[in-house]
């Protein structure tokens, strides 16, 4: 297992995973911008990318912007490993990690709760859906570190 910076050569795989797991996937240019402006990392196993995480931090706060595991590797603990690598890799001065998650993403919500994230709010109509006329709420969650 290897956790390393995302590179432009990873984009086809990462965008492919995103397209499989997200109801409204990030476009390629959003990943390109994330490589330049955020912390974009991939999780490799047996030389294959099985997941990725995009996050940012400033001063004492961080935000998890995107995290995904390829569908065939889901349910095998990879999401927990990836989230732990992100959390453990944050500088010690980062005391709070925030994220938004679709209210319908029960698997992700359970994962975040298992890491002691707590819901601190809800954003009404935050996420687009495949039906442009409908929007989905997001839970705002926060992990407070040591």
Digit-coded pLDDT (tens) for 61-76: 999 999 999 999 999 9
Q: What is the pTM of this model?
A: 0.94
What percentage of the chain carries pLDDT values higher than 70?
Answer: 100
Q: Beta-carbon neighbour count of residue 28 at 10 Å? A: 14
What percentage of the chain carries pLDDT values higher than 90?
Answer: 94
Q: Is the pLDDT of residue 8 over 90?
A: yes
- Give the pLDDT of residue 132: 77
Q: Beta-carbon neighbour count of residue 17 at 10 Å? A: 22
3-state SS, the chain, equals: CEEEECCHHHHHHHHHHHHHHCCCCCCHHHHHHHHHHCEEEEEEECCEEEEEEEEEEECCEEEEEEEEECHHHCCCCHHHHHHHHHHHHCCCCCCEEEEEEECCCHHHHHHHHHCCCEEEEEEEEEEECCCCCCEEEEEEEEEECC
Digit-coded pLDDT (tens) for 23-34: 899 999 999 999
- Give the pLDDT of residue 130: 79
- Read off the tokens for 98: 């925030």
């Amino acid at each position: 297992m290897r956790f390393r910076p995302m590179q432009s050569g990873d984009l086809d795989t990462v965008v492919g995973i995103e397209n499989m797991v997200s109801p409204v996937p990030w476009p390629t240019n959003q990943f390109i911008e994330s490589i330049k402006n955020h912390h974009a990392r991939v999780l490799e196993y047996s030389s294959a990318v099985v997941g990725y995480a995009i996050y940012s931090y400033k001063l004492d706060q961080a935000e998890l912007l995107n995290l995904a595991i390829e569908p065939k590797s889901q349910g095998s603990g990879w999401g927990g490993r990836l989230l732990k690598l992100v959390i453990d890799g944050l500088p010690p001065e980062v005391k709070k990690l925030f994220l938004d998650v679709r209210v319908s993403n029960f698997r992700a919500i359970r994962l975040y709760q298992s890491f002691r994230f707590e819901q601190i709010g809800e954003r009404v109509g935050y996420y687009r859906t495949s039906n442009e006329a409908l929007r989905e709420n997001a839970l705002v969650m926060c992990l407070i570190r040591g």
